[in-house]
A = this chain, B = another copy of it.
Amino acid sequence: MTRCFDNMESQTEISTIGEFGLIGRITDGIEPKNASTVAGVGDDGAVLRYPDTDVLVSTDLLLEGVHFDLTYVPLKHLGYKAAVVNFSDIYAMNGTPRQITVGLGISSRFTVEHIEELYSGMRLACDIYGVDLVGGDTTASRSGLVISITCIGDADKDKVVFRSGAHDTDLICVSGDLGSAYMGLQLLEREKRVSAGDKDFVPQFEGKEYLIERQLKPEARKDIIAALSSSGIKPTSMMDISDGLSSELLHLCKASDTGCRIYEDRLPVDYQTAAMAEEIGMSAITAALNGGEDYELVFTVPLHCHDTVSKIEGVKVIGHMTGPELGCALITADGGEFPLKAQGFNHMPAADAS
């Protein structure tokens, strides 16, 4: 299987260049892309200038052994994903990500080249999404890799979308398809068990490439935010789907004081997800509802936006909001009604998430 610690020809111990040498290597050549970035790496803090817009801030902590497994996650992909999932939070507020800061805890088994590889993924994500890396903190870790990213973005004052703005009868929409990242994780975990440390093991991913890509290299839905804007639609509420659709819908309904109905036959599921679900004897709908890390958007729009929102490529109407007294439920193809539960993908127990 892909291993982070294979295939690197010349390796440099971090101790030979020190913390500041390492920071110099990984931040070399970084140039601001955004007008709001006044000064970036190399001081006690970064300086940003946001005269006419609201500033959005989001933070994520990723820990080895909890959020990622370096047995099958290449460091460059990890860096890319760590950055993109933060951009996703800013898009989910209807904003544009502009800057990130990166806190990195590095255990002794990592070399300079490993950290450069990780950073190359973050910098690639920053290049693609037009984001500036403006600072951070690098330290030793006694236990595995720690990645903490804070993303700063902006949105025009009247454009920010909160979780709390949905109303009864609003349409519930999702972008892309759901459950594929979770199936990608199942696939990688299975191949890891099968390979069981065999360095020459070649994993079987044919016909499942999409699932692997969704797990290892997710994208944030910048395109959907742009399409909504150009269609003249401002969602009434929005979140990105990191912990599973059920969990996120429960959040939206709680914050907006609504209930909801979503329809099983409207949930967007890719055929690779459906095939993999069948292969492992799991319901694809369960994966779509509770599998995490899709980083798609779930949002609500007023009923009168039905025709406009339906025309946006990659967006599907899956249900509608209701009064809070009706609770949150999935309507199955045969008309059955099942309450939504947040049994999702949390890295902490979610006892009272509902």
Contacts and interface: CB of A to CB of B under 8 A. Distances in A.
B45 A57 contact: yes
Contacts of A17: 351-352
A132 B136 CA distance: 21
A252 to B, nearest CB: 10
A151 to B, nearest CB: 8
Interface in A71-129: 89-90, 92-93, 95, 99, 101-106
A265 B224 CA distance: 64
Contact of A148 (B46, B148, B151, B353): B148
Nearest to A247: B20
B140 A19 contact: no
A51 interface: yes
A93 B44 contact: yes
A106 B66 CA distance: 11
Contacts of A64: 142
Contacts of A323: none
A49 interface: yes
Interface stretch (A313-321, A328-336, A341-349): A341-349
B15 A351 contact: yes
B61 A148 contact: yes
Contact of A52 (B51, B93, B106): B51
B140 A66 contact: yes
A104 B58 CA distance: 14
A349 B15 contact: yes
B19 A353 contact: yes
Nearest to A250: B20
A234 to B, nearest CB: 15
A18 B102 CA distance: 27
Interface stretch (A35-43, A168-176, A188-196): A35-43
A184 interface: no
Contact of A348 (B65, B138, B152): B138
Contact of A45 (B66, B93, B103): B93
Contact of A44 (B14, B16, B55, B92): B92
Nearest to A354: B20
Contacts of A137: 59-61
With a 10 A CB-CB cut-off, give which of A38, A64, A150 has the most chain B CB atoms. Answer: A150
A163 interface: yes
A326 interface: no
Interface in A129-156: 134-144, 146, 148, 150-153
A211 interface: no
Contacts of A44: 58, 89-90, 92-93, 163, 239-240
A50 interface: yes
Nearest to A20: B353
17 contacts: A15-B349, A17-B351, A21-B351, A43-B162, A43-B164, A44-B93, A47-B54, A48-B55, A57-B134, A58-B135, A59-B150, A61-B148, A64-B142, A66-B141, A103-B103, A140-B347, A152-B152
Given A18-B350, A38-B54, A48-B54, 12 more contacts: A20-B350, A43-B164, A43-B255, A44-B93, A45-B57, A50-B51, A55-B152, A57-B135, A59-B135, A61-B105, A61-B139, A143-B143
Give the top 5 A-B pairs by smallest Cβ distance, nearest first: A18-B351, A143-B143, A45-B58, A61-B103, A148-B148
